[in-house]
Amino acid sequence: LFLACAWLCSWQIRRAHEKQEQIEEAWKAVRAKPKHLDDLQPSEERGSNHEVTRVAFDAEKEGTPLMVQPRMRGQKRGCLVVQKVKVLPEPTAHPNETQHNRNTHALWIRGWAPLQWCESEESASKSSTGEETVRVDGVKRTSEAPSRFALENDPGANAWHWIDKEAMNEHLGMPQDAPLVEQMSVREEKKKSWEEEQEDFAREQWPKPRGLTELIRFPVMPDGHRQYALTWAALGLATGAMAVRARKLKWTKKLVGCACG
């Protein structure tokens, strides 16, 4: 048991170190100059939600957004707003040149919004016919890994509970490998009091994208791994001390038995 605790302690320390390096690399990536979708390398196009690649491009919103819900923010119920967008080509040095995009469309996570806003926005989008040009500035994403408690998505009923990139792309009439980009807020979020949060909530512009700190998060952060390492170290020391004490008692009994004999 002592050896098992020692191994688990060292493994948690290694994981803390690996996560810290990944976080530092991610911070560098989000602060780097963003790339256009067509400038990404194949490895960056595949990516993962722990490998941050920043992208930026102009686009036109198309169709009705998908509402991924319920999503909690503190004590408030809401949704993630996911939009189909048409990717506009980058401006060229020569006005008469026509640039063709490899990625004509993309899936855009606009951010979180309260449930009441989501319902009103969905109704407004259905009656809207105009095209709106937007600036997408965020990071590449892949599908979420749903927990075992997550509800199943039902594309037929347009009911979405977690982000499934391939299924959403197919539902919106796009290629399954069309990129998924999450909008990013470049504002540094400061810790606020409850009263300040309520005031901000009342005047906030929805949907609200996540900030840099929220984007670069793991289910277990480095500090969590360090806490686990301390726990396993303490358990290992305790079991080691108990084993030494048991061995001493065993030898003491043997010595007493020999003396009596």
Residue 94: predicted pLDDT: 46
Kindly report, residue by residue over 105-120, the tens digit of the pLDDT. Answer: 999 999 999 988 888 8
Answer whether residue 258 shows pLDDT above 50: yes
Angle 242-236-245 from CA coordinates, rounded to 5°: 15
Answer whether residue 38 shows pLDDT above 90: no
Residue 44: predicted pLDDT: 56
pLDDT band at 47 (very low <50, low <70, confident <90, very high): low
Spatial separation of the C-alpha atoms in residues 44 and 140, rounded to whole Å: 8
pLDDT band at 15 (very low <50, low <70, confident <90, very high): confident
**Which range, of 31-45, 74-88, 192-206, averages the lowest pLDDT?**
192-206
Residues 127-138 have a mean pLDDT of: 77
Q: Calculate the average pLDDT of the chain.
A: 80
Spatial separation of the C-alpha atoms in residues 22 and 16, rounded to whole Å: 10
Beta bridge partners of 48: 51
**b (16+ CB within 10 A) / e for 37-55:** beebeeebeebebebbbbb
3-state helix, strand, coil in the chain (%, to 5): 45, 25, 30
Answer whether residue 226 shows pLDDT above 50: yes
Residues 26-38 have a mean pLDDT of: 80
Positive or negative CA dihedral for 189, 44, 39, 67? negative
Residue 97: predicted pLDDT: 54
**Which range, of 1-5, 64-68, 184-188, averages the lowest pLDDT?**
184-188
Q: Which two tokens stand for residue 85?
A: 């967008």
Positive or negative CA dihedral for 28, 32, 34, 39? negative
Spatial separation of the C-alpha atoms in residues 228 and 100, rounded to whole Å: 51
DSSP 8-state code for residue 205: P
Spatial separation of the C-alpha atoms in residues 8 and 242, rounded to whole Å: 19
Answer whether residue 31 shows pLDDT above 90: no
Kindly report, residue by residue over 163-189, the tens digit of the pLDDT. Answer: 999 999 999 999 988 999 999 886 655
Answer whether residue 53 shows pLDDT above 70: yes
Residues 249-259 have a mean pLDDT of: 61
Q: Quick count: other Cβ atoms within 10 Å of Cβ 183? A: 20
DSSP string, 182-204: EEEE-SPP----HHHHHHHHHHP
Position 91: which residue type? P
Residue 26: predicted pLDDT: 76
